[in-house]
Structure 1
Amino acid sequence: MTTRMIARTAIGILAFALLAAFDVHASTPAVDSVGEVVRQDLAPALRTFLALSFLSFIPIALIGMTSFTRIIVVLALLRHALGIPQTPPNSVLITLAMFLTLFSMGPVADKVYSEAINPYLTEQVTASAALDRASDPIRGFMVRQTRESDLLAVLEMARVEPPKTMQDIRFAHLAAAFLLSELKTAFQIGFVIFLPFLLIDLVVAAILMALGMIMLPPTTISLPLKILLFILIDGWVLLSRTLLGSFWT
């Protein structure tokens, strides 16, 4: 692959993934100027420079525009429900969350590539047209996962009128509402996960109290039981399927 093709690929993928950061539909002059720079067909060297500059915004796009937030919060809550807040380590949970994010965002990524990135790399469309094509799948995914109440709350906080159509929603408002909805959904799933483990803790504590074993910490007995239960139900696979199914339904 030539340097020119690598530069185009990098700037294309980053530009499409960071639509929310630049909000091409925003009305402020600063954001408009950035959006115009991204939309222009620039020289390969300048595209490479912009691509390297955009790398710092990748975590923002990953958290604010994909399923990563819901997945990582649920996995962290599961770890606390089991009673082992340091195991598995953060690096393992983040890696698992990244793979599950890749699977859940697969249909969106395929649409963005086929409708925007590939035509742009083959010089069939301009960068401006490619950005317009890429915005629809990303916006559609975020709208489907966003609660109307959260979107209205964000619009109220921003002091703007509710939009008439999906295309009228600014990316900044949609991303904020999407993130609030993801957090709410993640905590709902986490609450359901906590219930069976909480029941085990209560039963073990009641049994130890009845036996007069007050000095023995209940977690000493309940922790192996919770881990055994999680293994018997194949918990990691079950939770992964549930998380992915929550995005596909």
Structure 2
Amino acid sequence: MRIKFTYFWAMVALAVSALVADPAFAQALPAAEPAAAPAGASEALERALDDVSGDGQPLSVTLQILIVMGLLTVLPSIVLMMTSFTRIIIVLSILRHALGLQQTPPNQVLIGLSLFLSMFVMAPSIEQINQQAIEPYSSDQITLTEAIDRSGKVMHSFMAKQTRQSDLRLFMDLANEEGFETTEDIPFSIMLPAFVTSELKTAFQIGFLIFLPFLIIDLVVAAVLMALGMMMLSPVIISMPFKLLLFVLVDGWALTMGSLAASFAK
């Protein structure tokens, strides 16, 4: 049985939409008898697996498991590259180094903060996907192809708002594309690398601004120690308490998280 490459990526997008859908999704569906209840996310995924075969016949259990395992391998890349996660985790990592703390907060905490803040930032897009694609598809109102198309448009719109025109032009030139009439016409093959490049640039710009006040503290402490002749004493030991004090006094975590979330408001 031959599975088309396009439908495989369609399944990827549908799985992402189902996994990150708002928890209220299940409550939004009308109550009914078990036999007449609308399909949920798991039933939608199962029906999608049946549709992939192209002849209306369900795939074998082994092949379904193979497809699901394939989806799980690409989900981390989708979460990292198509959402706000990249910018947030880079800024938080730079902040940790600016404070002079090597393992505090630990990597697991930073990743957790980045993940949940990304869910907060992406909540409007997730709600759009839920309303425009998942619920209609689960209720048999639209086809799988249309559901994937609607979900893709929502993610495309989010990435377009965060992407610089210079980065778009760069990858358009590399792809030998002259131009597009509207932003919606830009394919994902160009939009995705341009979006990631813009996110990296923005993250380093924010990280530079965060790093400056802590760098000044390091310079002042180093100058004072040199003036006192304490050249054998590491400035890091003395400056770290002052940097932590400054960070606490300005409510640094709330300021950083709030600024990161606000940077996506366009």
TM-score after normalising by structure 1: 0.82
Residue 24 of structure 2 corresponds to which residue in structure 1?
A: none
- Write out per-residue CA displacement over residues 131-175 of structure 1, whole angstroms, 9 at most, x where no aligned residue: 121122111100000000001111122222222212221102100
Amino acid at match of 1:98: L
1:15–1:68 CA distance, 2 compared to 1 (3 A): closer
Is 1:180 paired with 2:197?
yes
Asked whether the 8 Å contact 2:16–2:75 carries over to 1, the reply is no
Asked whether the 8 Å contact 1:39–1:127 carries over to 2, the reply is no
Amino acid at match of 1:179: V
Residue 133 of structure 1 corresponds to which residue in structure 2?
A: 150
Structure 1 gaps of 5+ residues are: 1-9, 19-35
**Aligned equivalents of 1:154, 1:17: Cα separation in 2:** 31
Bigger drift between 238-247 and 206-215 goes to: 206-215
Q: Secondary structure, in 3 states, of the residue corresponding to 1:178?
A: helix
* Higher helix content, 1 or 2: 1
**Aligned equivalents of 2:75, 2:256: Cα separation in 1:** 26
Q: Give the CA deviation at 1:41.
A: 7.6
Q: Give the CA deviation at 1:89.
A: 1.3
Residue 235 of structure 1 corresponds to which residue in structure 2?
A: 252
**Aligned equivalents of 1:229, 1:241: Cα separation in 2:** 18
- Structure 1 or 2, whichever has the larger Rg, is 2
**Aligned equivalents of 1:145, 1:185: Cα separation in 2:** 9
1:84–1:42 CA distance, 2 compared to 1 (3 A): farther
**Aligned equivalents of 2:106, 2:56: Cα separation in 1:** 44
Is 1:106 paired with 2:123?
yes
1:233–1:42 CA distance, 2 compared to 1 (3 A): farther
Q: Secondary structure, in 3 states, of the residue corresponding to 1:238?
A: helix
Q: Secondary structure, in 3 states, of the residue corresponding to 1:247?
A: coil
1:121–1:47 CA distance, 2 compared to 1 (3 A): farther
Is 1:163 paired with 2:180?
yes
- Root-mean-square deviation (CA, aligned residues, Å) is 2.5
- How many residues align? The count is 223
Asked whether the 8 Å contact 2:96–2:105 carries over to 1, the reply is yes
Asked whether the 8 Å contact 2:14–2:148 carries over to 1, the reply is no
Identity over aligned pairs, percent: 49
1:85–1:17 CA distance, 2 compared to 1 (3 A): farther
Residue 142 of structure 1 corresponds to which residue in structure 2?
A: 159
Amino acid at match of 1:241: G
1:206-245 aligned within 5 A: 206-245=223-262
Q: Give the CA deviation at 1:107.
A: 0.2
Q: Give the CA deviation at 1:13.
A: 3.7
**Aligned equivalents of 1:39, 1:67: Cα separation in 2:** 35
Structure 2 gaps of 5+ residues are: 1-10, 20-50
